[in-house]
Amino acid sequence: MEKIVLPEIKDMHLIDVYLANGGYSSVKKAFNQTPDDIIDQVKKSGLRGRGGAAFSAGLKWSFMPKSTTKPKYLCVNGDESEPGSFKDRQILEHNPHQLIEGILITCYAIGAKIAYVYIRGEYHKFINFFSKALNDAYEHGFVGDAMREKFGTDFTCQIYIHKGAGAYICGEESSLMNSIEGKRAYPRVKPPFPAQYGLWGCPTTINNVETITNVPPIIANGWEWFAKIGEPKHPGTILFGVSGHVNKPGVYELPTGTLLTELIYNYAGGVPGNKKILCVIPGGSSMPPLRGDQLEEIKMDAESLKAAGSAIGTGGVMVMDEDTDLVKVLTRITKFYYHESCGQCTPCREGTGWMLKILNRILSGSGSSNDLDLLISVANNIEGNTVCALGDAAAWPVKYMIERFRDYFETRVNTVTKLPIANKVHSLRKSVIPL
């Protein structure tokens, strides 16, 4: 299988190697076409976002207004703060020039002359890798004002790296834009959407690093070629980051529609000690988990996982064997979202804390069956009631983990719970009230 995003070419991160393998030829080809032609090709290719929502990239580009007096911007999301996701950094390290070329083509298609690559602050190493590649691209005239002479075109594009401060909320597109503007990273209420009112009130398109990196091969080989790879409704390859209880954790680029069991056993080497799989989260920690005894015939693409009751997300596959303590796992995931909630919306700000307190109570051995129902109730009151999707990201693991592993959680709780009495006089502080 040909690898599109991470080709197996030694030193592909070096500009001379990239050029020797056809690098920056796609952008030259694109400049000989109209922006509408480029958008049409990407739309027909079926390329869908690789950042979580799996939305049509070409359709998103088409939302940009054709005529406006305002400048247009492209934001490339490399925040990658989703637990279990570690694939964008592979591109920043091993194939940064294809990302740069994809940015140039995308900016030309949507009419943007400035692009911001937003990378999470902890990625010092990968920021340095990408910065070196970007400097080389500038020196060779592929980016910036020198593009006029290099390509014989009036179109120019400036690319800037923006380092985040390590906040999960900045993975949400409007929070990312607020962060770039120097504001607190609160999500914005939509509408208006970024294509109408984005960075500094100007039309803006936001795409994930992996999504943009797919663009040059589509222009080079044609949309028909890309559309035939993998599943028809979600074509192309995906970078699957496999972690947890597998013998060979890592990033695997495979066609969409690859069987989940094939990914785990054939590529990731199976489970250590040949233990049974208890649980798999197929797309990063915020996606609904799957039972280990129900993995057969599940394909790794957006439509198939949706039918299975989960989602492709960022392609971060987290495998847990039969000895895993799911209460600890769920508590740790919930603690993350409680910590990362920006606090703007009451259901998320308060609800994540409530869920964490209840899970800590169960973890300590003081939980009851009623607590399991209470957790689902709190999760349902968070889901769909927040400005951005962080509320859903916090609610789904709790809601679906308990619903799908109810038998497991029932073994960890009591039929009767005893809670300490708060604010009692000193002599009565050790008293309890049976419920």
Tell me: the pLDDT tens digits for 353-395? Answer: 999 999 999 999 999 999 999 999 999 999 999 999 999 999 9
Tell me: the pLDDT tens digits for 306-320? Answer: 999 999 999 999 999
Q: What pLDDT, on a 0 to 100 scale, did the predictor assign at position 423?
A: 59
CA-atom Rg of the chain in angstroms: 24
Q: What pLDDT, on a 0 to 100 scale, did the predictor assign at position 67?
A: 86
Query: Running DSSP on this structure, what letter comes out for residue 145?
Result: T
Q: What pLDDT, on a 0 to 100 scale, did the predictor assign at position 2?
A: 81
Using 50, 70 and 90 to split pLDDT, how confident is the model at 231? very high
* CA-angle at 162, arms to 160 and 168, nearest 5°: 145
Q: What pLDDT, on a 0 to 100 scale, did the predictor assign at position 249?
A: 98
Q: What pLDDT, on a 0 to 100 scale, did the predictor assign at position 344?
A: 94
- 61, 112 contact by CB (below 8 A): no
Using 50, 70 and 90 to split pLDDT, how confident is the model at 432? low
Structure tokens at 180: 């770039």
Q: What pLDDT, on a 0 to 100 scale, did the predictor assign at position 53?
A: 87
Structural domains of the chain ordered from first start: 15-227 (3.40.50.11540), 231-321 (3.10.20.600), 326-410 (1.20.1440.230)
Question: Does 434 have pLDDT greater than 70?
Answer: no
Question: Does 154 have pLDDT greater than 90?
Answer: yes
Question: Does 269 have pLDDT greater than 80?
Answer: yes
Judge residue 143's burial from the number of C-beta atoms within 10 Å of its C-beta, 0-12 exposed, 13-18 middle, 19 or more buried.
Answer: buried
Instruction: Provide the CB-side half-sphere exposure for 294 (13 A, CA).
Output: 13
Mean pLDDT (the chain) is: 94
Helix axes 124-139, 96-110, angle to 10 degrees: 70
Q: What percent of the chain has pLDDT over 70?
A: 95
* Least confident piece of the model among 212-216, 227-231, 314-318, 366-370: 366-370
- How far is CA 109 from each of CA 31, 62, 264, rounded to the nearest angstrom? 9, 9, 38
- 321, 245 contact by CB (below 8 A): yes
Give pTM, 2 decimals.
0.93
Q: What pLDDT, on a 0 to 100 scale, did the predictor assign at position 220?
A: 97
Using 50, 70 and 90 to split pLDDT, how confident is the model at 421? low
- 257, 286 contact by CB (below 8 A): no
Report the DSSP beta bridge partners of residue 316. Answer: 241
Tell me: the pLDDT tens digits for 70-81? Answer: 999 999 999 999
Tell me: the pLDDT tens digits for 29-59? Answer: 999 999 999 999 999 999 999 998 899 999 9
Question: Does 416 have pLDDT greater than 80?
Answer: no
Distance CA 285, CA 271 (A): 19
